[in-house]
Amino acid sequence: MKKIIVKVGDVIVGGEVRAVVQSMCNTSTLDIEGSVRQCVELFEAGAEIIRLTTQGLKEVEALRVIKDQLRNRGVITPLVADVHFSYEVAVAAASVADKVRINPGNFAKDHDVAKREFARLISVCKKSGCALRVGINHGSLGDRIVYKYGDTPQGMVAAAVEWIEMAEENDFDQIIISLKSSNTLVMTKAYRLLYNQMSSRGTLYPLHLGVTEAGNGDEGRIKSAVALSALLKEGIGDTIRVSLTENPVNEIPVALFIANYCKKATTGSENSEINVLPLTDDKGNNKESRRSVIVKDYNTNSYQEFILQASCDLGPLLLDNLVDDVKLNVKISSQPMHSDEILKFRDNLLQATRRKFSKPEYIACPGCGRTLFDLENVFEEVKRRTSHLVGYNIAVMGCIVNGPGEMADADYGYIGEGKNRVSIYRGKEAVYRSVPQEYAIDKLLELIEEDSRNKLFRPRLG
């Protein structure tokens, strides 16, 4: 089996060391001072690759200045240009960035144009030593792929293989592939399928893993830990991002924990003992003969360490239907954790693994240079005001350019449209456009209530 190593600046992706940890600035790339400051903060927190949104040629030039300023300050972290909808921008960015991320779903509408422009991009990458990420997202597959496969894991894999073949036709192997989804089941299935397909083709390209639009807080951390650990423990994945709708600096300790913990698990130096028992009722009678529960004790140094460790240990078993529930005794620094807190974690874990939905499911992007409003606080407010909508899938997205596509299977969406303006979506349909931000959550709730009264929509997640 040929295993491809990709060089992103001075960072090796695809080697035998633990997964490389990356994040993305949520500053405007045109705000050079703010972006440099955030890159330094991310570097100091331990980010090994940093991505910046690069919408146009002005942002490419800003990226060049940001890179120069960082290098002058001794920060050599590789920078990635995140490019959508413009192969011209991708080509320009390839002589500035250490890696360019393109999304095949919006690189070029016409397949022949895509082939031609991808070849042009590769020729620039070869000259400048720039790597490429073929970043496929569940929510933004191209029309041709969706027509043939639907928006399925198989479609994501077919798109990836098509672009791998195009890179190979151009004699270029410095590519990293990602297949992100906010749905942990879709995401893990897609990566496993692609890994198997690459194995049968005889060449393994590095994979960048991420649960996209994972949200924030415990839920975002648990969702990411569950899906990333399921793959990393199988030896799938070479670089990771934990996407949180928070300050991106918060992503780094979470990602480092997951990468290190899973590396130890694959080398056998972290052996977490797990007991699996039949599921019983309060009197000890078997509830259902074929169902099982994991019983496990934890004593960790912090709450965050507990939720991450338990999600990495138990999440993959729930995700893959190998067990049905968890029963935990938890101590944090030797102090027993309150049973309500343990139950809250259990509910989050069951929801992250899509086994039981006890509250609404949220899709929220992490925000980036395209976000023109206070995404973190708006998301918190949407969560607070929709917490009764169990079984609904609600999206809060930072921009109208990628938001509608990326919210994939959300039932309703709150999508930033520009400064203080919001679009409210039902599925893929924009029902209200240009709503002033101060009324936007009211409008969202009004639409959901009206649909429910008219029996236009029933919650799907149960």
Q: Compute the distance between CA of residue 21 and CA of residue 24 in angstroms, rounded to an integer.
A: 11
Q: Does 133 contact ligand SF4 by CB under 6 A?
A: no
DSSP strand pairing (2-3 vs 412-418): unpaired
Residues binding ligand SF4: what is the number (CB under 6 A)?
Answer: 13
408 binds ligand SF4 (CB under 6 A): no
By CB under 6 A, is residue 105 in contact with ligand SF4? no
Beta bridge partners of 56: none
Residue 398 lies near ligand SF4 (rule: CB under 6 A) = yes
Nearer to ligand SF4, 136 or 308 (CB): 136
Among candidate residues 354, 348, 352, the one with its CA nearest the CA of residue 328: 348
Residue 237 makes contact with ligand SF4 by CB under 6 A: no
User: Nearer to ligand SF4 by C-beta: 257 or 373?
Assistant: 373
The answer to whether 317 and 323 are in contact (CB under 8 A) is yes
**Range list of H helices, 27-56:** 32-45
Of 232 and 365, the one with the shorter C-beta distance to ligand SF4 is: 365
Structure letter (DSSP) for residue 139: G
Kindly tell me which of 153 and 366 has the beta carbon lying closer to ligand SF4.
Answer: 366
Residue 449 φ then ψ, to 5°: -65, -40
Note whether 59 binds ligand SF4 by CB under 6 A: no
Report if residue 406 touches ligand SF4, rule: CB under 6 A. Answer: yes
First and final CA of the chain: distance in angstroms? Answer: 42
CB of 414 to ligand SF4, least distance (A): 12
Helix, strand or coil, per DSSP, at residue 191: helix
- Nearest CA-CA partner of 299 in 260, 340, 328: 328
CA angle (453 as vertex; 449, 459 as ends), nearest 5: 70
Which among 233-241, 314-322, 381-389, 395-403 is the span making contact with ligand SF4, rule CB under 6 A? 395-403
> Can you tell me which of 138, 189, 370, 426 binds ligand SF4, judged by CB under 6 A?
370
Q: Which of residues 329-368 bind ligand SF4 (CB under 6 A)?
A: 365-368
Considering only 42, 228, 397, 447, the residue that binds ligand SF4 (CB under 6 A) is 397
- Counted residue by residue, the chain has a size of 462
Asked if 136 touches ligand SF4 (CB under 6 A), the answer is no
Positions in the binding site for ligand SF4 (CB under 6 A): 365-368, 370-371, 397-399, 401-403, 406
